[in-house]
Amino acid sequence: METLLSLTIGLLVAAAVYLMLARNVLKFLFGMILLSNAANLLIFTAGRLTFGEPPLIAAGEKLPPPGVANALPQALVLTAIVIGFGLFAFALVLVFRAYTTLGTLNTDDMRVAEPQEEADR
């Protein structure tokens, strides 16, 4: 499963990159969602996969059962998901505002900070 998951993550990254290189900034956003999913899966997989043993301690016990899943990457991924959501929400608002102000979703046309003539000189 690890091999398959590694390939899947690579595919997710490739799809994300392809979308992030698009002209339409909404596609860029979709790419970002895929990328954060890929990153979360990457961290999770790198921490090794354990089937059916969540890192919980039974009531009355001092230690979890042996062979329990790695808790650390889970904690990291959990916060990463929430942060990723915050990033995505902010980016979405930014795109929305850019659209209402500039009237376009094409990133090639968004050149207020670096106008065309400046760049070509």
Partner 1 sequence: MNSIILRVATRYLAAILLIFSLYMLLRGHNEPGGGFIGGLIGATGFVLHAIACGTKEARAALRLQPQTIALSGLGLALLAGMVPALMGDAFLTGQWLFLGAAEGEKGLPISTVLFFDIGVYLVVLGAILTLVFAMEEEI
Partner 2 sequence: MAKSSQVRGVAIDKNYRHCGALSIDLEGDGARYLFQNPEDTKIATPDPDRPATNGPAGWLPVLLALALCGWFATFIGPVSRGEVLRVSFDWAPSLGISLSFLVDGLSLTFLLLISGIGALVLLYSDSYLRGHHQYGRFALYLTSFMLAMLGLVSADNLIALFVFWELTTITSYLLIGFDADKEKTGAKARRSALQALLVTGAGALALLAGLILMGEVAGSYEISQINAQGDVVRNSVLYLPIVVLVLAGAFTKSAQVPFHFWLPNAMAAPTPVSAFLHSATMVKAGVYLMARLHPSLSGTDFWLWTLTVAGAVTAVFASLQALRQSDLKQVLAYTTLMALGTLTLFLANTSGYAITAFVTFLVVHSLYKAALFLVVGCIDTATGTRDAALLGGLARSMPVTMLAAAVAAMSMAGFPPFLGFIGKELKYAGALAVASEPVLVAGAVLLANALMLAAAGVVSFKPFWRPAGGALPRTPKEAPWPMLAGPVILASLGALFGINPDLLQSSVVAPTVAALLGTPAEAKELALWAGVNLPLVLSLATFALGLLLYAFHTRLRALLQRVLGALPDFDARWDDVLNGLKVLAGWQTRLLQTGRLRMYMAVILFTFAAVIAATLALKGAVVIAPDFSGLAPKHLTVIGLIVIGSAIVTLTDSRMASIAALGTVGIGVAMVFILYSAPDVAITQLLVETLVVVLVAVAMLRMPHLGAPGERDIRPRDALLALFVGGGVTLTLLAVLATPMDLRLTEFFEETSGPLAHGRNIVNVILVDFRAIDTFGEIAVVVIAALSGYALLRTGKEAGR
Q: Which residues bind partner 1 (CB under 8 A)?
A: 54, 56, 59, 78-79, 82, 85-86, 89-90, 92-93, 96
What's the min distance (Å) between Cβ of 109 and partner 1? 22
Shortest distance, position 119 Cβ to partner 2, whole Å: 4
Site for partner 2 contains 48 (CB under 8 A): yes
Nearest CA to 23 out of 88, 114, 104 is that of: 104
SS3 110: coil
Q: End-to-end CA distance of the chain, in Å?
A: 54
32 contact choice in partner 1, partner 2, none (CB below 5 to 8 Å, kind-dependent)? none
Question: Would you call 117 helix, strand, or coil by DSSP?
Answer: helix
